[in-house]
Amino acid sequence: MSILVDSNTRILVQGITGDFGSRHAKLSLDYGTKVVAGVTPGKGGQTFEHGSFKVPIFDTVSDAAKQTGATVSVIFVPPPFAADGILEAVDAGLALVVCITEGIPVNDMVKVKAAMQGSKTRLIGPNCPGVVTPGTGKDSHGGCRIGISPGYIHKRGNVGVVSRSGTLTYEAVWQLTRRGFGQSTCVGIGGDPVNGTSHLDALQMFNDDPETEAIIMIGEIGGDAEERAAAWAKDHCQKPIAAFIAGATAPPGRRMGHAGAIVSGGKGTARGKIDALHEAGIAVADTPAVMAETLIKRWKG
């Protein structure tokens, strides 16, 4: 099993004809992902071609979902239009929306979150690398790659990875793969202050997934998502968890990289998050270089 997506998941790409969207649609097709539709308003009826793949393009998400059976959308729409793209996918009743777009105005995402209340759609992101469930084929092909993560670093296995940072996700995955430990699913939840799926949501899904035996959770300064996840894990998660918190040297009041990575009013500090993780019995890596090593030591002894 896995969480969120698997090799049978049918994906549509919003913004498939743009430079970024087309590039990563091709990489996902090469990985074995079932990319079954593209959506670009005004280009309905055209075809997105890559090698032997021919993906139909539609004007709307609703039409694409109805005609192809797609249940998941990945969004490569520019920031001014990305919020509307998310809401279009929600209105179409998709199960999952993965928004890669960076730089969406916070006010737009506040409106999106309010509009999504009560919907059946789960949002990953925005400003995230996406989701990968590795396959069992050569180089883990045949799985499901949604977003911008490098598929070739993954290996099918039993470690769940959830992270606010894209590059640290890749680092953790590659460390695990090099040591012979594969991943069940890797989820990049994004670093914006207003997003969809949280660390806590991912931990709960990994805890319920029988294939996932251990978890790496990567956080950073800003907000209290890591503390809330740690508090839940302390009482409910029996699986070994290793964590890393980025931004320990960031000056208070200065945003570092991600829009949500800011220490304000004494809250959201790296020290506070690390203390909460330790209190929950979660192993904390001192540097990003030892994330996998820290997990393996806790997991395998």
Annotated catalytic residues are 258
Alpha helix ranges (H) inside 46-140: 61-68, 79-91, 106-116
CA distance 125 to 296: 28
CA distance 176 to 272: 27
Strand order through the sheet with 10-14: 47-50, 53-58, 34-39, 10-14, 72-75, 96-99, 122-124
Beta bridge partners of 97: 73, 123
Q: Return the SS3 of 89.
A: helix
Task: State the SS3 of 168-207.
Answer: HHHHHHHHHHHCCCCEEEEEECCCCCCCCCCHHHHHHHHH
